[in-house]
Structure formats: C-alpha cells, structure tokens
Amino acid sequence: MNRREFVACVGGVLSFVAIRPALAARPTLLEAVNTFTGGVEVRAGRVAFDIPPLVENGNSVGVMIDVESPVTAEDHVKRIAIINEKNPQADMIVFHLSPQSGRAHVSTRLRLADSQTLMAVAEMSDGTYWSAAADVIVTLAACVEGVSEGGGGVP
C-alpha cells in the first residue's frame, strides 16, 4: 500500500466515524416518549389532541393541544411535547409553559413524513405526565428524503 492509498483509506474510515451518529437507528415512539419523560410513567387523559385523522398534504398539518389544568402557581403545565413515529426527528416540538401562560393551550403546524401515530405528552408541575395519541393518515407525504432508509432530512 502506497502513501496515497493509506491516506485515502484513513480518510474514509474517519469520515465514516464522523457520520456514524447520523446513521444511528431512529428511536421508536415509546423510546422517544421515555426520553422526554425520563422514564416516568405516562398516563392517558387530561390532554386533548386535535389533529385531522386524514391529511391530504403532509407539508402543513394544523394541530391544537389543550391540557386540563387550573394553571395556578401550584398546579400548571410545564411542557407539552409532540412526538411522532416516522418523521426523521422523533420529538417534533416542545412548548414550555408557566402559570403566566394563562391557559394550557398550544397550536402549530407540522410536517408529517408518512401516515403514523403522534403523541402529545404534557408534563405537569407535580411531575406527572399525561398524554393523548392520534393516528393520522397522510396521502401526500412530506420529509420524504431518507424516510425509507430510517432517518435523515429535516422535519
């Protein structure tokens, strides 16, 4: 092996090591939820997740989330996360709230890579987590780069 072949070989190995985290497997929905909650049990309820069950275009999907909470200093929503099953990035968005928010209501627009299950998870001030899930059928997918390969692209 001459010097050029050796340098090319080492460069190839180093570039693979540098991009290896990008090739890591995407977490499952449950793994992504556990990352958000730190492994704390998530209970169903208190969260109303309003998203259409059938979406023609995954590039812009309207979502609203309401969480039952008195929104006082003692009892309020700290965070609300939207976590998905198939987009390149599992945690799509995290909203940070406080008693000054007035009410536990958020809305946004999402890009959906494919038909999938989404979860809205709310962290309460007492450390409990509540959730709601929704199955969404997408006829025209967004984020198509890398979806079939299991990652890559920007949601």
pLDDT confidence of residue 90? 83
Assigned domain for 94 exists: yes
Contact 151, 26 (CB under 8 A): yes
Q: Strands 91-96 and 77-84, how do they pair?
A: antiparallel
Assigned domain for 151 exists: no
Assigned domain for 33 exists: yes
The encoded tokens of residue 87 equal: 């987009």
**DSSP letters along the chain, please?**
--HHHHHHHHHHHHHHHHHHHHHSPPPPHHHHHHHHHTT--EEE-SEEEE--SEEEETTSEEEEEEE-----SSS-EEEEEEEESSSSSSEEEEEE--GGG-S-EEEEEE--SSSEEEEEEEEETTS-EEEEEEEEEEEE-S--TTTTTT--S--
Assigned domain for 82 exists: yes
Assigned domain for 10 exists: no
Q: What is the mean pLDDT of each run of 10 residues along the chain (155 residues)?
A: 63 51 72 90 93 88 93 91 86 89 90 90 94 90 54 43
Assigned domain for 120 exists: yes
pLDDT confidence of residue 109? 92
Q: What is the CATH number of the domain that holds 113?
A: 2.60.40.2470
Quote the domain boundaries for residue 126: 26-140
- The number of folded domains in the chain is 1
The encoded tokens of residue 20 equal: 């290896």
pLDDT confidence of residue 92? 82
Assigned domain for 122 exists: yes
Assigned domain for 154 exists: no
